[in-house]
Structure 1
Amino acid sequence: MIPQWFPAVREAHFDGVHRHLSTSEGTLKSLVVTKDDALRRCQYRFVEGMPLPVDFHLGTIDVLPDADGSRVVYSQEILPEALAPIVERAVSEGIAGIARYFAAHP
């Protein structure tokens, strides 16, 4: 489902441990550290495919109840800081994609 809302992702699959994302710039592999349907939370760490070595990374996607709908909170923590602009651009595109997807699929 990720390619439906994340414009940079061409293909995605989850093997039960890792999330694999194919983009025009290569393949990213992330370790899924939390996948909790009851909490509506997914957390992951990039383990391969970033343009620089990653000292620390944790991406978190939470889906929270909000009135008659939901609110998506998508956060990233990453070191070194040189990777922040790359991740910020991708996350911004992803957030915009989520909004477009759910506007078209209420």
Structure 2
Amino acid sequence: MTAVWIAVLGTAAGCYLLKLLGLSVPAALLDRPAVRTFATLAPVALLAALTAQQTFGGHGSGLAALTLDARAAGLAAAGIAVWRRAPFLVVVVSAVAVTALVRLVAAHM
């Protein structure tokens, strides 16, 4: 068994135990307003942070660097589509199309 498989199996066991721990939390603890607020807002904040890191984070340099490339244009297009209350599929397609178009134009320059 290689180290990769040990890591995969360890991660799977850890995820299962964390899920089991979450199911065994008393309902009285989960009914607190602070816990409900955190459970409502944490996924949104984490997704926003992940999106920002994947869009603007430095790639390949190993340093904390801000990069601005075609993904930023795609994110801006998606943001405009969300602001205009477009359906989710339109938001995704517009982000993909703008990113691809910017990359195509940049490749021909």
TM-score range, shorter chain: under 0.3
Instruction: Give the TM-score of the pair, scaled to structure 2.
Output: 0.27
More strand by share: 1
Which one has a bigger Cα radius of gyration? 2
Instruction: Give the TM-score of the pair, scaled to structure 1.
Output: 0.28
